[in-house]
Amino acid sequence: MNADSPLTAEEIANEYDLPVEAVKEAIAYCQTNPPEIKEDFEREERKMAATGMNDPDYKYGGKYRVLSPQERARLGI
**Residues 25-35: tens digit of each pLDDT:** 999 999 999 99
Rounded Cα distance, 10 and 13, in Å: 5
pTM for this prediction: 0.62
pLDDT at 61: 78
**Span 57-77, average pLDDT:** 85
Rounded Cα distance, 27 and 66, in Å: 35
**Span 43-67, average pLDDT:** 85
C-beta separation of 75 from 47 below 8 A: yes
